Amino acid sequence: MQNILSVKSLTKKFDDFTAVKGISFDVETGSIFAFLGPNGAGKSTTIKMLTTVLKPTSGEIRINGFNALKEQDEARASFGIVFQDRSLDEELTAYENMVYHAVIYKVPRKEREKRIQQALEIVGLWNRREGYVKNYSGGMKRRLEIARALVHYPKILFLDEPTVGLDPQTRNSIWSHIKSLNKEKGMTIFLTTHYMEEAEAVADRIAIIDHGNIIESGTVEEIKKRTETESLEEAFLKLTGRDIRDDNLPENKVRTIRGMRRRDRN
Ligand SMILES: Nc1ncnc2c1ncn2[C@@H]1O[C@H](COP(=O)(O)OP(=O)(O)OP(=O)(O)O)[C@@H](O)[C@H]1O
């Protein structure tokens, strides 16, 4: 199978500190790839380089066959991204937010309505398109962000912590939308998450980064076998010696996640 994303010897230095240390990996077209690591491991720095926000110190990135450093426009047209931070205009309707994004991405005017409808239908928001975003729930906002990232027909979707801050039911609904996008539309998904059980449930392949190096990669089964563990969470702990969810998380994230764990138990 072809690789939609291919990364070779990718390195990022901030002055004399090396945040990403020559990592290499491939993402197969049509797969779900989870990029995991404790806080400060280098995930955000890597995603920023993959999405052309940050210039690598050295290394190669090919997205959809394009050199992400030399063919930036083509590379950018090939991916959609949902960052952790909300970037919707709350004072506009869902539909207006979609139009705004379609214009920025230069979707031809004639195509706009059709593509917006398709994207909103995928996340189950077409019937709610006239609603103001400020009146949307957290889960609806996240679904709208995913729909928005699809409007220029990307080949690969980057999702940075797509379910953080959402309750368990909403998290399930987000995952089912992501899975159907992958299975039914063949969209490649590259995601980060702090929820090991969610990564285990959805990802075809996983890479674990720590201190700027990829310390393990493969399918969940391969990783569990090699680490002689029963779950991805256990494998992660064994490999990094840390709990992904509690290690130096910003206080607000810890609170959200601990709250969720309590709710999960109740
Ligand atoms: N602009 C910068 N200047 C200097 N150091 C930086 C900069 N950005 C990130 N770093 C450092 O690089 C390392 C990797 O950071 P990065 O944000 O990529 O980690 P992360 O794995 O995404 O963590 P998190 O899960 O908290 O988002 C950290 O030690 C961080 O302090």
Q: What is the pLDDT of residues 60-119, one digit of tens each?
A: 999 999 999 999 999 999 999 998 877 899 999 999 999 999 999 989 999 999 999 999
Q: Are 72 and 78 in contact (CB under 8 A)?
A: no
The domain tally of the chain equals 1
What confidence score (pLDDT) does residue 245 get?
56
141-169: average pLDDT:
91
Q: Where are the extended beta strands (E) located within the chain?
A: 3-14, 17-28, 32-36, 58-63, 66-67, 79-82, 156-160, 188-192, 205-210, 213-218
On the question of pLDDT at 196 being above 60, the answer is yes
Backbone φ and ψ of 39, nearest 5°: -60, 140
121-141: average pLDDT:
94
Q: Domain containing 79: what range? A: 3-86+156-265
Residue nearest atom 7 of ligand 1, based on CA coordinates: 14
37 CB less than 6 Å from ligand 1? yes
User: Is the four-CA dihedral 200, 202, 207, 211 of positive or negative sign?
Assistant: negative
On the question of pLDDT at 151 being above 60, the answer is yes
On the question of pLDDT at 50 being above 70, the answer is yes
**Would you say residue 210 lies in a domain?**
yes
**Tokens linked to 265:** 């138990």
Q: Residue 256 C-alpha to ligand 1 middle, in angstroms? A: 21
Distance CA 100, CA 51 (A): 20
What confidence score (pLDDT) does residue 243 get?
66
> Which atom of ligand 1 has the smallest separation from the CA of 20?
14
Packing angle between helix 168-185 and helix 251-265, nearest 10 degrees?
90
Q: What is the chain's percent helix, strand, coil content, to nearest 5? A: 45, 25, 30
Q: What is the pLDDT of residues 14-29, one digit of tens each?
A: 999 999 999 999 999 9
pLDDT-derived band at 266 (thresholds 50, 70, 90) equals very low
**Would you say residue 209 lies in a domain?**
yes
On the question of pLDDT at 246 being above 90, the answer is no
249 CB less than 6 Å from ligand 1? no
> Which atom of ligand 1 has the smallest separation from the CA of 248?
26
Backbone φ and ψ of 157, nearest 5°: -115, 125
**Would you say residue 147 lies in a domain?**
no
Q: Are 226 and 218 in contact (CB under 8 A)?
A: yes
42 CB less than 6 Å from ligand 1? yes
40 CB less than 6 Å from ligand 1? yes
What confidence score (pLDDT) does residue 244 get?
61
**Would you say residue 100 lies in a domain?**
no
Q: Are 22 and 9 in contact (CB under 8 A)?
A: yes
Distance CA 2, CA 65 (A): 10
CATH number at residue 21: 3.40.50.300
Q: Residue 121 C-alpha to ligand 1 middle, in angstroms? A: 36
**Would you say residue 127 lies in a domain?**
no
**Would you say residue 70 lies in a domain?**
yes
- The 8-class DSSP code of residue 92 comes to S
19 CB less than 6 Å from ligand 1? yes
On the question of pLDDT at 58 being above 50, the answer is yes
235-255: average pLDDT:
65
Q: Residue 85 C-alpha to ligand 1 middle, in angstroms? A: 16
Q: How many CB atoms lie within 10 A of CB 227?
A: 16
Which whole-number Å values give the CA distances from 205 to 35, 101, 180, 209, 214, in the listed order? 9, 31, 17, 13, 13
> Which atom of ligand 1 has the smallest separation from the CA of 12?
12
Q: Residue 9 C-alpha to ligand 1 middle, in angstroms? A: 18
Q: Are 207 and 224 in contact (CB under 8 A)?
A: no
**Would you say residue 109 lies in a domain?**
no
Q: Alpha helix locations (H) across 196-250?
A: 196-202, 220-227, 232-240
Instruction: Please provide the average confidence, as pLDDT, over all residues in the chain.
Output: 89
Residues 21-55, buried b or exposed e (16+ Cβ, 10 A)? Answer: bbbebbbeebbbbbbbbbbebbbbbbbbbbbbebe
On the question of pLDDT at 227 being above 80, the answer is yes
**Would you say residue 126 lies in a domain?**
no
On the question of pLDDT at 141 being above 60, the answer is yes
Please report the ipTM that was assigned to this predicted complex. Answer: 0.96
Contacts 24+ apart (CB under 8 A), 62-70: 62/3, 62/5, 62/6, 62/7, 63/4, 63/5, 63/155, 63/156, 64/4, 64/5, 64/155, 64/156
Q: Residue 79 C-alpha to ligand 1 middle, in angstroms? A: 23
On the question of pLDDT at 251 being above 50, the answer is no
Distance CA 238, CA 109 (A): 52
On the question of pLDDT at 239 being above 70, the answer is yes
215-231: average pLDDT:
97
Distance CA 22, CA 241 (A): 22
